[in-house]
């Protein structure tokens, strides 16, 4: 199966700072990537996605960077807020096949 993992299981940041959450994948043919946010007791919430023909995509306060050379994906959150505290995980798929999900990084925002 695919290997999708996160570099750090936990991350603590000060409110107002920027956060960077990383994800590594093993399949060089992976062509679609998604970041999800999951709050305690809730289902994952779609944040942003990126396809392999791009290396950067921006949303509201979030940016996803894709480095296909080293098979690395990152999520940057600008001006992190207490409401950003959650588990973040990446997912990847290849040619429309099933998604493989990482185990997640727990982000804690310190007021």
Partner 1 sequence: SQTIHQWPATLVQPVGSPLSLECTVEGTSNPNLYWYRQAAGRGLQLLFYSVGIGQISSEVPQNLSASRPQDRQFILSSKKLLLSDSGFYLCAWSVNRDQPQHFGDGTRLSIL
Structure token digits, residue 109: 């925002």
Answer for which of 24, 49, 63, 71 binds partner 1 (CB under 8 A) is: 49
- Using rule CB under 8 A, residue 99 touches partner 1: yes
Three-state SS for 63? strand
Which segments within the chain are labelled E, that is strand? 4-5, 10-14, 19-25, 32-38, 45-51, 56-58, 62-67, 72-77, 86-93, 100-101, 105-110
Q: Does 107 bind partner 1 (CB under 8 A)?
A: no
* Residue 97 in contact with partner 1, rule: CB under 8 A: yes
User: Per CB under 8 A, which region of 16-24, 52-60, 76-84, 99-107 contacts partner 1?
Assistant: 99-107
Strand, coil or helix: what is 84?
helix
Residue 23 interacting with partner 1 (CB under 8 A): no
Chain residues that interact with partner 1, rule: CB under 8 A:
4, 32, 34, 36, 41-46, 49, 89, 91, 93, 96-104
């Amino acid at each position: 199966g695919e290997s999708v993992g996160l570099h750090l299981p936990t991350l603590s940041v000060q409110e107002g700072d920027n956060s960077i959450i990383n994800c590594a994948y093993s399949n060089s043919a992976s062509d679609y990537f998604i970041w999800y946010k999951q709050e305690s007791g809730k289902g994952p919430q779609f944040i942003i996605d990126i396809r392999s023909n791009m290396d950067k995509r921006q949303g509201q306060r979030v940016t996803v960077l894709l480095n296909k050379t080293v098979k690395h994906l990152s999520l940057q959150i600008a001006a992190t807020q207490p409401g950003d505290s959650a588990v973040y995980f990446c997912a990847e798929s290849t040619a429309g096949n099933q998604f493989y999900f990482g185990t997640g990084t727990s982000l804690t925002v310190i007021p």
